[in-house]
Amino acid sequence: MAVVCPECDNPIDVDVDEVEEGETVQCDECGVDLEIVSVEPLQLVALEESGYDDEDTSHLVEEEDE
Ligand SMILES: [Zn+2]
């Protein structure tokens, strides 16, 4: 199933059988992290946290909760 990135309008292919609510996927086009807030219907919201460019900085970001 494809959704459109809310940030850049790039179509993102998400396999709803392999994701759950609360998971995050990343937009290949703009790199934004998108949290799956609903699987049926498929709905994503962009995460705009400090871990913006989290290629290898995720271990530097303090995350108390998951
Ligand atoms: Zn995007």
Distance 44 CA to ligand 1 centre (A): 11
The pLDDT score that the predictor gives to residue 59 is: 63
User: Residue 2, by phi and psi: left (phi above 0), alpha (psi -120 to 50) or beta?
Assistant: beta
CA atoms of 7 and 9, how far apart (whole Å): 6
Residues in the chain, pLDDT under 50: none
Q: In total, how many domains does the chain have?
A: 1
CA atoms of 36 and 22, how far apart (whole Å): 5
For 24, the domain range is 2-47
CATH for 39: 2.20.28.160
The pLDDT score that the predictor gives to residue 58 is: 57
Distance 12 CA to ligand 1 centre (A): 8
Joined tokens for residue 21: 């609510």
Instruction: Give long-range contacts, CB 8 A cutoff, 24+ apart: 35-40.
Output: 40/16
Instruction: Judge whether 22 lies within some domain.
Output: yes
The pLDDT score that the predictor gives to residue 53 is: 59
Instruction: Judge whether 60 lies within some domain.
Output: no
